[in-house]
Amino acid sequence: MHTAFSHFFLHKCAENVRISILIEAFMAIVVRKRKNGQNSYMVRYEPAGQQAVTRTFHLRSQAEAFEREIKRAKGLDTLEQLTGSAQKVTVSEAIKVYRADALPHLANGGQARHAQLVRIEEEFGRKYVTALKVSELTEWCGKLSRLDLSVQTIHHHLNAFSALVEFSRRSLGVHLPENPLRLVTRPKLAKPRDRRLRGSELEWLTKAAKLSPHPDLACIITVAIETSMRLGELLAMRWPLVDLQRRIVHLPTSKNGESRTVALSSVAVAALDGLPRRIDGRVWGWVADDSFENAWRRCKGRAVRIYEEAVPEERREPDFLSDLRFHDLRREATSRLFEKGLGIMEVASMTGHKTLSMLRVYTKMDAERLAAKLG
Task: Give the separation between CA 310 and CA 211, rounded to whole angstroms.
Answer: 15
98 is catalytic: no
Q: 41: helix, coil or strand? A: strand
DSSP 147-163: TT--HHHHHHHHHHHHH
Name the residue among 329, 327, 322, 334 with its Cα closest to residue 364.
334
| 35 has catalytic annotation | no
CA 200 to the chain's CA centroid: 33
The pairs formed by 297-305 with CB atoms below 8 angstroms and a separation of 24 or more are: 298/212, 299/205, 299/208, 299/209, 299/212, 299/217, 300/205, 300/208, 300/324, 302/208, 302/211, 302/212, 303/201, 303/204, 303/205, 303/207, 303/208, 304/204
Interatomic CA distance for residues 30 and 52, integer angstroms: 15
45 is catalytic: no
d(CA 288, CA 187): 27
Annotation says 230 is catalytic = yes
The values of phi and psi at residue 206, to 5°, are -65, -40
Active-site residue 362, yes or no? yes
> How many degrees, rounded to 5, is the angle at CA 153 between CA 148 and CA 155?
120
The angle that helices 111-124 and 289-310 make with each other, rounded to 10 degrees, is 100
Q: Which of 55, 169, 175, 230 is catalytic?
A: 230
> Which residue among the candidates 255, 282, 302, 316 is catalytic per the annotation?
255
Catalytic residue from among 55, 330, 331, 364: 330
User: Cβ–Cβ contacts within 10 Å for residue 173, how many?
Assistant: 16
- Rounded to 5°, the CA angle 59-63-67 comes to 165
Buried b (16+ CB within 10 A) or exposed e, 155-167: bbbbebbbbbbbb
Tell me which of 18, 196, 353, 364 is the catalytic residue: 353
State the catalytic residues.
230, 255, 327, 330, 353, 362
